[in-house]
Amino acid sequence: MKKIFSFSLLLILGLVASQILPGMLGESYPAFRAGATTFLYVCLSFIMINVGREFEIDKKRWRSYAEDYFIAMATAAVPWLLIALYYVFVLLPPEFWGNGDAWKENLLLS
């Protein structure tokens, strides 16, 4: 619980700092942002490399990996498709419901 509290506190502090720092730093903010972004990507790459180093595939359990893959795919695809359906059937007039270009635009937009 202590770890969750500290991570939540750090997230809130980061949110507050992201709103205050541009006004405080003024003209030097773009240089600060470039440095902070570089530091962010270095830290993120460190995390991703360590996750990859710890990842081992057990070839005897391939079915569970396939199940996890389809669950992750559905988790990403279902909201995307629901948003596209909302854009087409709620926001567009009915005469565009059968228009292929409207579907293409809304699938890309969502």
Q: How far apart are CA 17 and CA 11, in angstroms?
A: 10
Name the residue among 79, 103, 80 with its Cα closest to residue 91.
103
Question: Are 52 and 66 part of one and the same domain?
Answer: no
Look at residues 17, 40, 56 and tell me which one is the last residue of a structural domain: 56
Question: Are 64 and 49 part of one and the same domain?
Answer: no
**Which of 25-29, 42-46, 51-55, 84-88 is predicted with the least confidence, judged by mean pLDDT?**
51-55
Residue 85 has pLDDT above 90, yes or no: yes
> What's the number of domains the chain is made of?
2
How far out from the chain centre does Cα 18 lie?
18
pLDDT digits (tens, 9 = 90+) for 33-47: 999 999 999 999 999
Question: Are 8 and 47 part of one and the same domain?
Answer: yes
Instruction: For tokens 């270009």, name the residue.
Output: 101
Question: Are 89 and 106 part of one and the same domain?
Answer: yes
Task: Give the pLDDT confidence score for residue 58 in this predicted structure.
Answer: 78
Q: How far apart are CA 27 and CA 25, in angstroms?
A: 6
Question: Are 21 and 2 part of one and the same domain?
Answer: yes
Residue 61 has pLDDT above 90, yes or no: no
pLDDT band at 110 (very low <50, low <70, confident <90, very high): confident
Question: Are 50 and 79 part of one and the same domain?
Answer: no
The residue among 79 and 61 whose pLDDT is bigger is: 79
pLDDT band at 51 (very low <50, low <70, confident <90, very high): confident
Question: Are 66 and 98 part of one and the same domain?
Answer: yes
Give the domain extent around 47: 1-56
